Structure 1
Amino acid sequence: SPSQKMKVGRGPSSSLQGIQKHSGAELLTLPAGGSKMPATLESVASGQHFIKMNGRAVFRFATRVMADATRKVLERAGLSVDDVDLVVPHQANIRIIQSSMRQLGLPEEKVFINLQDYGNTSTASIPIALTEAIEQNRIQPNDTIVMVGFGSGLTWAGAAIRWGVPTERETTFWQSSQHTAAYNLARARSQLLRISRRLEGAFTSEDGATLAELMSKRFSRRRKTTEENAPSAATESKETEGRSDEEGSQG
């Protein structure tokens, strides 16, 4: 398959070895919406604008390339798996991460995982995980860090880094509180979205109507019924008043 080597960075405090590759585009695709198949009423109606994925094939692919890419970047850097201090993988699927790391013989304490907090954040997953690893003191100067991931295309890439960036920085109590609050809000928002999706799925009718749509229809029917009954109620009231007037005059 086609490949592209990344340039090796040289500097007083850090170095980089990396590799990028791609193949297997048919395993994870978005059939319509581009120049090859522009959007039409037919393509929308047939669901061609939804992602199509061969889940089993992607799982096998991901576990293989995550392990292979890690080995290759370490080999190019003149290192072995035993030299790795921490692996920061793409946070796509916990089983993919665990399976690929088992192939490498890496213990759990050498793999950073925050998938349980944020889910799959796509291209942001490794930067987020790297940031949290630093904040949790999982990375120290001169540590050997491997970042490895995969995505649609199918593409995969890995990088072996000798960490040379200072990990300690002075922060005020206010800054620390802001960061903590932001993370907690993001986590709460993610959980609320998951709950809302589950509720929406649980209350979706057979014809595809959501709970909100069903409630809206029910409210509309009630309002229509009320409006239809309102004139008859007014007529009955007038008739009652008329009878009362007649009885009064007779009396």
Structure 2
Amino acid sequence: MSAWGPDFPPDEFEEDENGPDSDQLAFAAYEDAWRERDRSGSTDPALLVTALKARRVPKGEYAEGTLLHRVLFESWERGRTPRRMHGVIVRYRIRSTLALPGELIDIFRDHTPEHMVIPKEFARSSRWGDSEESDLEFVPAGTFSARVAGWWKDCDDDGRTREITVWLDPQSTPGRAYVMVGREIAGQTTIPRSADAILRTATKRRKRVVADGGLWVKKTKDGAFRVKGLAISLPDPEAF
């Protein structure tokens, strides 16, 4: 499936009825370039430049010094597959609307407040191997409605839709996991049995591996909070 999935970006960034914009073409070009990277085994960023030209993305849109250039080429250098571009694309679309002309925003830096970070005794799945970012269901816990406003407020000021950093803690029932914010339970979800088995046993650097990702929450105009999606980097079985 394309990195530009059916549920993302959020409502305010849906594709224009006149067709894809330059950003969408650029991310499509990234997928084109990645297919060639897989085929050829080459990691040369020239593959990405060629794909951008083929998609007719204006050169000025991805010129060095722009936010789009940084997103595309840093992701390429980090070896981020199209499947793992999900959260990056959403953050880019949100923050690009907030940036002043010429302003470069670091969307890769972790701004999560201390009380909401993944506990240090765990290793993140997204940092080990080629984990795939998947959209999962989210069933809120009984305390979610009382806690979500505080979590949303403590996130970066990205507008009405914000990403809350989360991780998964397997339950006693196989295939079920708690969705955690820091050390608090935000809700529950269902995960594939293969991922469940890995998350119960895998360790890296003597730390238990946990699947991490983001819970996207939108504050509506009437002040209510609506969950837009749960995107989690599930572990790649071949990496463990």
TM range (shorter): under 0.3
The structure with more strand, counted as a fraction of residues: 2
Give the TM-score normalised by the residue count of structure 1.
Answer: 0.26
- Normalised TM-score (structure 2): 0.27
Q: Which structure shows the bigger proportion of residues in helix conformation? A: 1
